[in-house]
Amino acid sequence: MSSAELRLEGIAKTFGEVVALDQVSLTVQRGELLTILGPSGSGKTTLLKVVAGFETPDQGSVKVDGVEIARLPPAERDIGMVFQNYALFPHLNVRRNVAFPLEMRNTAKGEIERRVTDALNLVELAGFDERLPRQLSGGQQQRVALARAIVFNPRLLLLDEPFGALDRKLREMLQLEVRRLQQRLGLTTIFITHDQEEALVLSDRIAVMSKGSILQIASRSEIYERPVNDFVADFVGESNIFHGAVSAQNTITLDNGRVLQVRSDATPGKRLGVLMRPERFSSSGANVFAGEVLEAIYLGASFKLRLRCESGMELLVRQPARGKLPAKADRLTVGIDADELHLFDL
């Protein structure tokens, strides 16, 4: 069986008063890795459970290659899964853990041996066959879980914060490993995370979720460069977000009184959000801000500065770490061009 297209249409799920999913629709292309990114409680896990068959939606359809699967039991969906807390069988060794889904499917013995060996090779755990889960590190246990999720050639792979419990270095290594493996096998994959950096590293596309709804689904650069609203702009990356109204052609007057040069042909009076990414400032530009340094943090590759400008407007600015770190109360002037500002509807 090969990888499939997944299409969700109008999925709704409530738990009593809580609307966990509110009319969610999305398509994951064959071989694509889609990350679902959102804060705790936004409905990510519920969405994955609906796809896996552990929750029945109140409304909506789940189609794999055009075939409705919303009523199929989990075991018949042909979906591989990895969760945050490994859930390996503690009393079975690595080989038996990975063989389990094949045994459930009554695969022939020789075939099981061959496929388990392949899967363990893929996750670089050849030679660990006889170990018990407790004799493995957290990262190794997650690799076993991954091998078990892919060993039966699933049509979809679902990963729910699989590296949440691991330290940063290991997490970064496994992110790259998963990405390589997923691309090599051409596996249609949904990866859930609340970590925006993880989403940026891994994805073909990102779906940003909040309160049971998908706010934006787009490529990584689109999400970062052209977020559709305050929430997405704020959740992905660092941001300076202001609101204002168009006051003339290519001009916005912010609610704090500051006038900005922008690129917009919106009619005067229209209210817009303005996003300025901290790294897009330089020493000059169409919009210049003179301010006082409130905070200066040395981050190795860059300086992170908080400036207070006229009328109390605060800006977060990132500068390449060259020369001396500005000191608190230093005066500093930064600028940003109209092209570097992103505008969104309010």
- C-alpha span between 191 and 152 (Å, rounded): 19
- Residue 274: partners with Cβ closer than 8 Å, 6 or more residues away: 241, 242, 243, 244, 252, 254, 260, 262, 341, 342, 343
Structure tokens, 285: 């530009």
The answer to whether residues 304 and 278 touch, using CB atoms and an 8 Å cutoff, is yes
What's the closest the beta carbon of residue 173 comes to ligand ATP, in angstroms?
23
To the nearest whole angstrom, how small is the minimum distance from the Cβ of residue 191 to ligand ATP?
13
Q: Considering the rule CB under 6 A, would residue 40 count as an interface residue with ligand ATP? A: yes
Pick the stretch among 33-41, 176-184, 265-273, 332-340 that binds ligand ATP (CB under 6 A).
Answer: 33-41
The verdict on 194 binding ligand ATP (CB under 6 A) reads: yes
Q: Figure out which of the listed residues 11, 20, 69, 217 binds ligand ATP, where binding follows CB under 6 A.
A: 20
The conformation of residue 16, written as its DSSP 8-state character, comes to: T
Shortest distance (Å) from residue 45 CB to ligand ATP: 3
Which residue lies nearer to ligand ATP by CB, 161 or 340?
Answer: 161
- Residue where the block lists tokens 């899964």: 81
Of the candidates 38, 162, 285, 291, which one interacts with ligand ATP according to CB under 6 A? 38
Residue selected from 41, 60, 138, 335 as contacting ligand ATP according to rule CB under 6 A = 41
Q: By CB under 6 A, is residue 335 in contact with ligand ATP?
A: no
When asked if residue 311 is in the footprint of ligand ATP (CB under 6 A), the reply is no
- 34 is written with which tokens? 């889609």
Strand, coil or helix: 37: strand
| Distance in angstroms (rounded) separating the CA atoms of residues 185 and 206 | 20
Q: List residues binding ligand ATP (CB under 6 A).
A: 15, 18, 20, 38, 40-46, 194
